[in-house]
Homo-oligomer: A and B are copies of this chain.
Amino acid sequence: MSATAEITNESKSESKWVNGVNVTALAATLGAIGEQPALGRFQFRARNRWIGGARNSSTIKGFYGAGREDATRRDAYVFDADEPPVLLGEDKGANPVEYLLHALAACMTTTMVYHAASRGIEIDAVESSFEGDIDIRGFTGLSNDVPKGYQRIRVTFRVKTGGDAGVLTELVRMSPVYNSVCGSVPIDLTVETH
């Protein structure tokens, strides 16, 4: 956390790194949030524009966190979504439920790596695979008994480490996207027409 780094005057050369994570800065960050809980509040954002049919594009740039609006990110990230032909698209991008699996994979991986680093558990390699089952009778409205979202997601991690698999499993379960998907997030929805 840059604010924290300024406060504690940590320089990179003096920091301890585990798993590619600056655990000196991580500890300082945790200390700063412990003292000022409001520093823990973040808001992330995306804007999306429909292109046509199954194609649309999201732009991601600004966010708020650690008590300030971010000023470090210069370029926006842009992601295009589409559907494959079997779902009546042109496959010009991954589809939305595939992006969800990526979000889950990325978050669970980073969560494992950060929390392991914080505990001094060294990790040499992480690979993972994700499978999500969905029955589009739910989405299409053909059946009211079938969930509209994923019915189940299977996740398998293969980790090269001297650490304990049970401990790593508990660390992975701290993941924000994991908890957003296996728990319930309230979504406020407004649709305006013009």
A residues neighboring B (CB under 8 Å): 1-3, 19-22, 25-26, 29-30, 33-34, 37, 40-50, 52-56, 58, 60, 63, 65-66, 70, 72-73, 77, 79, 81, 83-88, 91, 93-107, 109-111, 113-115, 123, 125-143, 146-161, 163-165, 168-169, 172-194
Q: Which residues of B sit under 8 angstroms from A100, Cβ to Cβ?
A: 100, 103, 107, 177, 180
A131-B179 CB under 8 A given contacts A85-B2, A160-B194: no
Known pairs A53-B21, A165-B192, A185-B181; A130 contacts B48 (CB<8 A): yes
Q: Are B176 and A44 in contact (CB under 8 A)?
A: no
Since A81-B102, A181-B187 are in contact, a sample of 14 more A-B pairs with Cβ atoms closer than 8 Å, ordered by chain A residue number, is A40-B135, A40-B136, A43-B131, A48-B106, A54-B110, A60-B94, A63-B98, A99-B102, A136-B176, A138-B176, A157-B191, A158-B192, A161-B193, A165-B192
B residues near A146, Cβ cutoff 8 Å: 40
Q: How many monomers of this protein are in the complex?
A: 2
A95 and B44: CB pair below 8 A?
Answer: yes
Known A105-B46, A191-B157; judge A77-B56 contact (CB<8 A): no
The A interface is mostly helix, strand or loop, or mixed, namely: mixed
CB distance from A145 to the nearest CB of B (A): 11
Enumerate 11 A-B pairs (CB-CB under 8 Å) in ascending A order. A44-B134, A66-B86, A73-B91, A81-B107, A111-B139, A150-B185, A159-B193, A169-B191, A181-B185, A182-B185, A182-B186
**A184: which B residues are within 8 A, CB to CB?**
182-184
